[in-house]
Structure formats: C-alpha cells, structure tokens
Amino acid sequence: MYRYREIYSDIKRDILTNHYRAGSLLPTQEILTEKYEVSRLTLKKSLNLLIDEGLVYSKQGSGTYVRPRMDTQSTEMLPLDLPIGVTYSHRDQKITSRLLYFNARLPTELERKNLQILSNDPVYEIKRIRLINNQVYSFEHSVMPVSVAPINEKILSGSVYDYLGSYAKIQLTDARRVVYAEPASEETSQALEVDMNSPIFVIDQIAYDQKGRAFEYSTSRFVSNHNKFVLDVHLSKMD
C-alpha cells in the first residue's frame, strides 16, 4: 500500500474512534509530517482523501477540522457510510453480547469468494446478539478466517474489533455493505424477540483492514422500528 493511503487510513481510524472529535482541529501539518516521517506533499495526498470523503475540511489560515456528522449525538444512529462497529457507533452506551453459536469449519463457496481465501482455509462461524443498555439491538452472523487471530468465547463477549486491533494490529478501515429488508425467519425472530415474518433491516458486510485484506464477512439483522441509520453523501472534487 502507498504510504499516503496508510496515513489516510490511520487518521481516518482516529476520527472514527473519536480520537479526533467532530469539530476539532487536526494537528498541524508540521506535527503530522513529523509524526509520520513524510513530506508535506505525501501528507497533502492523505488529507485530500479525507476531504473528498467528507471527513475533514480546511479553513484557509486556520487549519484542517474534523467535519461534524449528522446526528452524531443520537444513540440510535448507525452511520451506513462509515466502516465502524456497534462499540464505536454507540460509544457512550453499555454494549454487551450474548453468544448463540461459535465453531470452526470450512468456508462455503460464497464465503471463500468474499474473504478471498482457499476452500480448505478454516473459518470461525459466530452468531451472537448485541445488546445496548440491556436491550436487544442486533443479531450478528459473522464468518472470519481462523488465520486472522485466535478467538474464544471470552473475546466474543466484548468487541471483536478492539481485540483484533490490540492483538493482531488489524483495523477496520473499509467495508462493502449491501442493505436490504427481509421477513424474520424462525431463528431471527427468536434472536431479536419479534414475530415471525416481521420486517427486518439487514446489512451484509465485507470488512477490510488497513492493507486492503478482507477479514470478516457478516450479516447483521435489526428490528426495523427500533433502529435508525444515517448516510451522509459528499460530492468528491472532479479532476
């Protein structure tokens, strides 16, 4: 990966994890070039990616600021355009997990393609309920290559992304999401405590790390009338 993209991913992660807060001024270019040991030109390329993505904006003579996001104070908002998990989107709430299923197996053909692995590469299969303030929030079905990191039930009781970041230095920096609705199956209705065939909001996601490698393929299901989602749209500059 090019150095400027690594810096872009690092700053973006700091924004998404609230290290650089909305409305705050980023460190000066002098500080950032010294921190990353790069030229101003390389840093400028990184900042331009963040500007084009709508995460930061520049004020002439003042510096570069983290752009405030719509309804960032809402405890019900999940930003569809940002590759973050429940722990970060609801960072001020009590987040817990209830593990329903955990095992290792060989991947299906779809999982193999989405994770870019071989058919004999084992994967973890994880099913768990995420709760916010002891209320059911989502039903997650995740598949992850075993080679990514060793995982156990204790780890699955908390934030998997936090664990991957500290243990394997893996950061979720990009994601491909497909959003749709479906009626609740028997398994989903039991997990989310809703009636069979109730409308369910679904997000399929392939998660990528800072090196562009797919490390998780997941499907998250939400009760349609208990959750809200937001998508900010930004027009990138034309060359």
What is residue 238's predicted lDDT score, i.e. its pLDDT?
44
CA distances from 3 to 7, 37, 210 (A): 6, 10, 11
- pLDDT of residue 61 exceeding 80: yes
Per-residue pLDDT tens over the stretch 72-123: 444 455 666 666 667 666 666 788 899 999 999 999 999 999 999 999 999 9
Q: In terms of Cα–Cα distance, which of 107, 117, 81 is closest to 213?
A: 117
- Domain 3-66 of CATH type 1.10.10.10: yes
Per-residue pLDDT tens over the stretch 128-154: 999 988 889 999 999 999 999 999 999
- pLDDT of residue 32 exceeding 60: yes
Asked if 3-66 and 77-230 have one fold, the answer is no
| Arithmetic mean of pLDDT over the chain | 86
Name the CATH superfamily housing domain 77-230. Chorismate lyase-like (3.40.1410.10)
Q: Which residues contact 126 (CB under 8 A, 6 or more apart)?
A: 99, 101, 102, 140, 141, 142, 143, 144, 151, 156
Domain ranges of the chain: 3-66, 77-230
Name the percent of the chain lying above pLDDT 70. Answer: 83
- pLDDT of residue 227 exceeding 70: no
Residue 162: which pLDDT band, with cuts at 50, 70 and 90? confident
Predicted structure pTM score: 0.70
CA distances from 52 to 29, 61, 233 (A): 18, 20, 11
